[in-house]
Amino acid sequence: MGKAYNEAVTFLSLLKKHDITGWLVGGCVRDWIKNGRDYMPRDLDITVNASAEEIKLIFNRAHRMSNRHETAVLHHRGHVYELTALKGAGISEDLAARDFTCNAMAVDVNGNLLDPYDGAEAVHSGFIKAVDPSRCFREDPLRILRALRFVSQFGWSMDSRTEAACIKEIKELRGTAVERIKDECSLLLQGSFAERALRMADTFRLFEHLPEPVQAGPLCLWRYQINKLDDGLMRWAGLFLILYGGKGSAVLGSWSFSNKWKKELRHLLEAVKNHDYKQDSYTLFRAGREQAVRGYLLHQWKYDYTPSEKELESFYARLDALPIKTKKDLALDGKDILRHFPDLSSAHYGRLLYVLEKKVVIGEIANKKEQLLEEAAIFVKERGKESDA
Ligand SMILES: Nc1ccn([C@@H]2O[C@H](COP(=O)(O)OP(=O)(O)OP(=O)(O)O)[C@@H](O)[C@H]2O)c(=O)n1
């Protein structure tokens, strides 16, 4: 029993042999109290009376964390330990500087729990409670989003003083890096209780202080069941529809998404706006199967409609019936075109591929090499006439 926990405590003894005192802290302690000692947290945070540099001198396989240089990362017997120097003179000061009581507990080398703020009680009763509400969010306004993220992940409530402090400090979020806000929002959106967290966020008037603020006052969030959307991408698209209506794709740039995410979100938002998924085969083809399904479901979700099995099957059947599923399926490739039409300009080459692809997808011509070559010859001849004229 308690394998993960025992291994982590044994690791503290190993540190002790090198004269380093360490305590397991933060999310791992919270998660053991919540889920039992066999639970294996994603990473194990340890607070130590040594710097990352000193840790690296002792364990030469340790490396510094790329985005948090004061933290040394050590892989040991299948676990990932993240070692950070104590904040303040001792463990009591370190815990006092943390955000919520559920995250302000520590386990020492003897396996004893240090719990000065009744964090275990908060975990058992399911409460987010700031260690010091008057200081917590002033020190780091992102903690407001962290609090909401825990509500979303665990379905907990927030204690009233913590909630009041969130509301008081919410406008300070405007000074926080967009990247950090986006990352926390992503975790929040993926939680099993995301709807509850978003409704709470709305009462905090959070959406007036996000990278692209919404000024309209409280939103009708009860209308939208974000938990019905399956993946993170769809939930982001759903949130954009709630916040920005049809203008979502125009404000994507304010949110530091990767280019891939920007492209996929833009596509989904535009698809919903244009009702694309009721429409033609070529739009479905261009989207690709995965995105087409997402767009279809998102469109239905927006109107609070859950498609029946039959409707879903008929949508999938339309996708299955596409004569080609990707560009690569075209029976004529770029090399064939260049071999047969070596004088084709690069602009015409791109246009020709587009024309062939579209004609095949909408069923105007078959996906057969001879037929595609015939069609290509007509295209090239017409372009020739255009340039002669
Ligand atoms: N703005 C922040 C961020 C983190 N912490 C403290 O640092 C610990 C580790 O933070 P992090 O790894 O970001 O999150 P976890 O709480 O560990 O949650 P999870 O691992 O589930 O993401 C937290 O538990 C908390 O004690 C904090 O006080 N204030």
Q: What is the CATH number of the domain that holds 176?
A: 1.10.3090.10
Residue 217 reports pLDDT greater than 70: no
Among candidate residues 83, 118, 153, the one where a domain is terminated = 118
Q: How far is Cα 200 from Cα 195, in angstroms, rounded to an integer?
A: 9
Q: Are 316 and 331 in a shared domain?
A: no
Atom 29, ligand 1: which residue's CA is nearest? 99
Q: How far is Cα 2 from Cα 148, in angstroms, rounded to an integer?
A: 30
pLDDT greater at residue 345 or residue 279? 345
The predicted structure's pLDDT at residue 221: 64
Q: Are 190 and 241 in a shared domain?
A: no
What's the average model confidence in pLDDT over 43-53?
A: 95
The predicted structure's pLDDT at residue 214: 85
Q: Are 236 and 294 in a shared domain?
A: yes
Instruction: State the closest ligand 1 atom to the C-alpha of 99, by its place in the atom list counted from 1.
Output: 28
If you average pLDDT over every residue of the chain, what do you get? 92
Residue 224 reports pLDDT greater than 80: no
Q: Which whole-number Å values give the CA distances from 79 to 8, 27, 313, in the listed order?
A: 8, 15, 44
Domain span holding position 258? 229-322
Q: How many Å lie between the centroid of ligand 1 and the Cα of residue 344?
A: 59
Q: Are 24 and 82 in a shared domain?
A: yes
The predicted structure's pLDDT at residue 128: 98
Q: Are 132 and 209 in a shared domain?
A: yes
The predicted structure's pLDDT at residue 1: 64
Which of 296, 293, 297, 351 lies closest to 325 in space, CA to CA? 293
Q: Are 112 and 133 in a shared domain?
A: no
Q: Are 51 and 5 in a shared domain?
A: yes
Q: Are 315 and 273 in a shared domain?
A: yes
Q: How many Å lie between the centroid of ligand 1 and the Cα of residue 27?
A: 6
Q: Which whole-number Å values give the CA distances from 369 to 317, 330, 333, in the listed order?
A: 26, 9, 9
Contacts of 356 (CB under 8 A, 6+ apart): 330, 332, 365, 372, 375, 376
Residue 112 reports pLDDT greater than 90: yes
Q: How many Å lie between the centroid of ligand 1 and the Cα of residue 379?
A: 61
What's the average model confidence in pLDDT over 238-262?
A: 92
- Please choose from 33, 45, 87 the residue to mutate so as to test ligand 1's pocket, defined by most ligand atoms within 8 A of CB: 45
Number of domains in the chain: 4
Among candidate residues 208, 224, 240, the one where a domain is terminated = 224
Q: Which whole-number Å values give the CA distances from 25 to 55, 98, 162, 165, in the listed order?
A: 17, 10, 21, 24
Residue 223 reports pLDDT greater than 80: no
Among candidate residues 68, 86, 118, the one where a domain is terminated = 118
Taking CB atoms and a 6 Å cutoff, what residues make up the pocket around ligand 1? 26-27, 45, 98-99, 103, 140, 142-143, 146
The predicted structure's pLDDT at residue 65: 85
